[in-house]
Amino acid sequence: MTTTAPPLDIHTIDDATLQQAIDELNIGVPVRACAVENGHLILYLAYGGKA
């Protein structure tokens, strides 16, 4: 069974949440910025694109 987390709000993203997302990606690319779009955390990477 899959649990669904509540939608994110940019005001609920703290450094620990952002670091956890980066650690889970484990891609070694610096994150330049983050945003929340439609309740999803968007990470803008140093090398273009988003994850």
Q: Which pLDDT value is given to residue 18?
A: 77
What's the rounded Cα separation, in Å, for the pair 8 and 12?
A: 7
Q: Which pLDDT value is given to residue 30?
A: 81
For the chain, the first-to-last Cα distance in angstroms comes to: 25
* Phi and psi at residue 40, to the nearest 5°: -115, 140
Low-confidence ranges of the chain (pLDDT < 50): none
Contact criterion met (CB below 8 Å) for 45 and 32: yes
Q: Which of 17, 10, 12, 7 minimizes the C-alpha distance to 39?
A: 7
